C-alpha cells in the first residue's frame, strides 16, 4: 500500500493533468502515492498514511454518498481536505457567508423553491447565469440573455426538481475579455495563479464530466492577492482548519475590481502545469502532514 492515496474517480482516469506531476513530486519527497476511485468499495483507505482528495469530479450527483465516504475515510486515516470542510464547501451557499463577512462576492440571488425563481431572474436586466449550488466542473451551468428568461426559468426549475437549490448571477461583461483568475494556496500559503478563459459564450455546460477550459499562467495583481489572502484567512477561521489546498476564483466586476466567484476546497484542478514549483510545494506540504 502506498503512503498516500489520491482520491479520484473512474471517469477521471488519464484526464487529471495535475496527477502525474504530483506523483513525481511526491516520489522525489520519498513518499509513495497512487490514485484510487473514491467509489471503489475494494480500496483499503485506512492502510494509507493519508488520503488526499483530488479528481473526485463525479461527486455532485451523489454528494451525500461522497460525504459519507469522506467521513468513513477520516475515521481511519488522515483526510485532506477534512470531511467537515468538504461538507461546507460542496454547497455554494457558503458564498452567502463570505458576502456577509464583507468579502467582495459576485452578486447572487438564491432560489430554494419554485416560487423564488421569478424574483431571482428579475433581479438583473441583462444576461444572467443560472447554476446549481451543488455542482462540479461547471456542469448544469448556463448563460441566458434577457430574451431567454423562459429558458432560464425552465433551467432553474429543472435544477430544483433534481433536489438542488439554484443560484442566479449577472453575467459580468468584462469576463469575455479578461476571463477568470484563479489563486492557488498550499498549506495556507500563496502558491501561484492562472488565467481561465470565459466559458459561457452561450449554451449550457452540462454534458461532460467537466467543461473544457483555456488555461494560462498568470501573475496575480496586488488587489487579487489581497482578496485571496483575506479569503484564506477567513476560511481558516470559519472551519478551524488550514486547508492543504485551496483555490480562490476571481472575476472582474463592472468596475474592474476583483470579486470572488468560487472558493474551491474539495476537488479543484490546481493547474500545477502553469507553475514550475507548484507540484513540489504541494508534495512537500503532504509530506509534512504525514510526518
Cell triple for 271: 493547474
What is the DSSP secondary structure assignment for residue 15, as one 8-state letter? T
Residue 22 included in any domain: yes
Say whether pLDDT at 163 is over 90. Answer: yes
Does residue 43 carry a pLDDT above 90?
yes
CA–CA gap between residue 235 and residue 32 (Å, rounded): 30
User: CA-CA distances (angstroms) from residue 248 to 47, 64, 86, 102, 221?
Assistant: 32, 24, 15, 16, 14
CATH of the domain at 163: 3.30.1490
pLDDT at residue 211 in the model: 58
Indicate if the pLDDT at residue 126 is higher than 70. Answer: yes
**Are both 145 and 51 inside the same structural domain?**
no
Evaluate whether 285 touches 25 at the Cβ level (below 8 Å).
Answer: no
| 71 and 125 together in one domain | no
Q: Which of the following is catalytic: 164, 264, 281, 287?
A: 264
Question: Which domain range does residue 73 map to?
Answer: 4-89
20 in a structural domain: yes
Half-sphere exposure of 228 (CA within 13 A, CB side): 26
Catalytic annotation, pick one of 247, 262, 267, 281: 247
In a domain, 229, yes or no: yes
Tell me: pLDDT of 72 over 90. Answer: yes
Query: Quick one: 193 and 256 in the same domain?
Result: yes
Does 190 lie in the same domain as 99?
yes
Reported as a single tens digit per residue, the pLDDT across 237-290 is 999 999 999 999 999 998 999 999 999 999 999 999 999 999 999 999 999 999
**Which residue among 63, 139, 153, 218 is the active-site one?**
218
Catalytic site includes residue 71: no
Q: What is the pLDDT of residue 185?
A: 98
The rounded Cα 160 to chain-centroid distance in angstroms is 21
Mean predicted confidence (pLDDT) in 134-163: 91
In a domain, 283, yes or no: no
Query: Is 80 found in the same domain as 23?
Result: yes
Q: What is the pLDDT of residue 200?
A: 60
- Residues 158-178, mean pLDDT to the nearest whole number: 93
CA distance 247 to 262: 8
Cα 123 from chain centre: 26
Q: How confident is the model at residue 203 (pLDDT cuts 50, 70, 90)?
A: very low
70 and 34, same domain (yes or no) = yes
Contact 35, 15 (CB under 8 A): no
The predicted structure's pLDDT at residue 45: 98
Q: What percent of the chain has pLDDT over 70?
A: 95
Q: Are residues 99 and 195 in the same domain?
A: yes
* Count: domains in the chain: 3
Residue 244 lies in a domain: yes
- Give domain status of residue 81, yes or no: yes
CATH number at residue 194: 3.30.470.20
DSSP 220: P
Q: Within this chain, do residues 184 and 56 fall inside the same structural domain, yes or no?
A: no
- Residue 281 and residue 186: Cα distance in Å, rounded? 7
Whether residue 123 lies in the annotated active site = no
Other C-beta atoms closer than 10 Å to the C-beta of 39 total 17
Q: How far apart are CA 154 and CA 171, in angstroms?
A: 18
Helices 114-121 and 149-161 cross at an angle (nearest 10°) of 150
Same domain, 164 and 187: no
Residue 138 pLDDT > 80 = no
Identify the CATH number of the domain in which residue 51 sits: 3.40.50.20
**Mean pLDDT for the stretch of residues 100-111:** 97
Q: Which three cell numbers stand for residue 164?
A: 438542488
**What distance in Å separates the CA atoms of residue 136 and residue 248, rounded to the nearest whole number?**
15
- The answer to whether residues 99 and 218 belong to one domain is yes
User: Does 70 map to a domain?
Assistant: yes
Is residue 286 included in any domain, yes or no? no
Query: Do 98 and 188 belong to one domain?
Result: yes
pTM above 0.85, yes or no: yes
**Catalytic-residue membership of 264:** yes
User: Are 164 and 181 in the same domain?
Assistant: no
Joined grid coordinates for residue 54: 483530488
Amino acid at each position: 500500500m502506498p503512503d498516500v492515496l489520491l482520491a479520484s474517480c473512474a471517469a477521471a482516469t488519464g484526464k487529471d493533468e495535475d496527477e502525474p506531476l504530483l506523483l513525481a513530486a511526491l516520489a522525489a519527497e520519498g513518499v509513495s502515492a497512487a490514485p484510487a476511485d473514491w467509489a471503489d468499495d475494494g480500496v483499503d483507505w485506512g492502510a494509507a498514511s493519508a488520503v488526499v482528495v483530488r479528481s473526485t469530479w463525479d461527486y455532485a450527483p451523489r454528494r451525500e454518498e461522497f460525504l459519507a465516504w469522506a467521513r468513513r475515510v477520516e475515521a481511519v486515516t488522515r483526510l485532506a481536505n477534512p470531511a467537515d470542510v468538504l461538507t461546507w464547501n460542496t454547497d455554494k451557499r457558503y458564498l452567502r457567508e463570505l458576502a456577509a463577512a464583507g468579502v467582495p462576492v459576485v452578486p447572487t440571488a438564491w432560489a430554494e423553491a419554485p416560487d423564488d425563481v421569478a424574483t431571482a431572474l428579475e433581479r438583473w436586466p441583462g444576461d444572467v447565469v443560472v447554476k446549481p449550488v451543488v455542482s462540479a466542473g461547471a456542469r448544469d451551468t448556463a448563460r441566458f440573455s434577457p430574451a431567454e428568461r423562459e429558458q432560464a426559468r425552465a433551467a432553474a426549475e429543472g435544477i430544483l426538481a433534481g433536489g438542488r437549490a439554484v443560484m442566479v448571477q449577472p453575467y459580468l461583461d468584462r469576463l469575455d475579455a479578461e476571463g477568470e483568475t484563479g489563486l492557488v494556496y498550499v498549506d495556507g500559503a500563496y502558491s501561484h495563479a492562472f488565467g481561465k478563459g470565459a466559458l459561457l459564450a452561450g449554451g449550457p455546460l452540462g454534458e461532460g464530466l467537466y467543461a473544457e477550459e483555456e488555461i494560462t499562467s498568470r501573475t496575480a495583481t496586488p488587489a487579487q492577492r489581497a482578496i485571496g489572502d483575506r479569503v484564506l484567512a477567513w476560511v481558516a477561521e470559519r472551519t478551524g482548519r488550514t486547508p492543504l489546498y485551496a483555490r480562490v476564483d476571481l472575476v472582474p466586476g463592472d468596475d474592474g475590481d476583483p470579486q470572488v466567484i468560487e472558493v474551491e476546497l474539495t476537488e479543484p484542478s490546481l493547474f500545477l502545469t502553469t507553475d514550475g514549483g507548484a507540484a513540489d510545494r504541494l508534495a512537500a506540504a503532504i509530506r509534512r502532514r504525514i510526518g
